[in-house]
Amino acid sequence: MMFWYGDGWSWWQPALMWGGMLVFWGLVIWGVYAVVTARRRPAQAAPSESAVSILQQRLARGEIDSDEFRRVRVLLESPGPTSLGAGDRP
């Protein structure tokens, strides 16, 4: 039985190993980066947060004025379906 000993490796064999190593370490570094940035992200608003508390936060940040706060709070606290007029904003 004869084995092929040839002149050594072909050009694509070391290139494939280097490419595989770069992809592997790239994925490892990306995974560590994703975990670190996910931990540093500010927490999103909890889904259980009520609409009135979100409205209060918007008023505190200055996104809405007190008149709009009162109008929307009345809409939120009123029972049953509500219909807005043509010029009203939700």
With helix as H, strand as E and coil as C, how does the chain read? Answer: CCCCCCCCCCCHHHHHHHHHHHHHHHHHHHHHHHHHHHHHCCCCCCCCCCHHHHHHHHHHHCCCCHHHHHHHHHHHHCCCCCCCCCCCCC
- Is 1 domain-assigned? no
- Is 58 domain-assigned? yes
Confidence of residue 42 (pLDDT cuts 50, 70, 90): confident
Range(s) of the domain holding residue 63 = 49-78
Q: How many structural domains does the chain have? A: 1
Confidence of residue 83 (pLDDT cuts 50, 70, 90): low
Mean pLDDT over all residues of the chain?
Answer: 82
Residue 17 has pLDDT above 80, yes or no: yes
- Is 9 domain-assigned? no
Largest CA distance in the chain: 93
Residue 47 has pLDDT above 70, yes or no: no
- Is 72 domain-assigned? yes
Confidence of residue 88 (pLDDT cuts 50, 70, 90): low
- Is 67 domain-assigned? yes
- Is 26 domain-assigned? no
Q: Which residue has the higher pLDDT, 5 or 69?
A: 69
Q: Which residue has the higher pLDDT, 36 or 3?
A: 36
Positive or negative, the Cα torsion across 66, 70, 72, 77?
positive
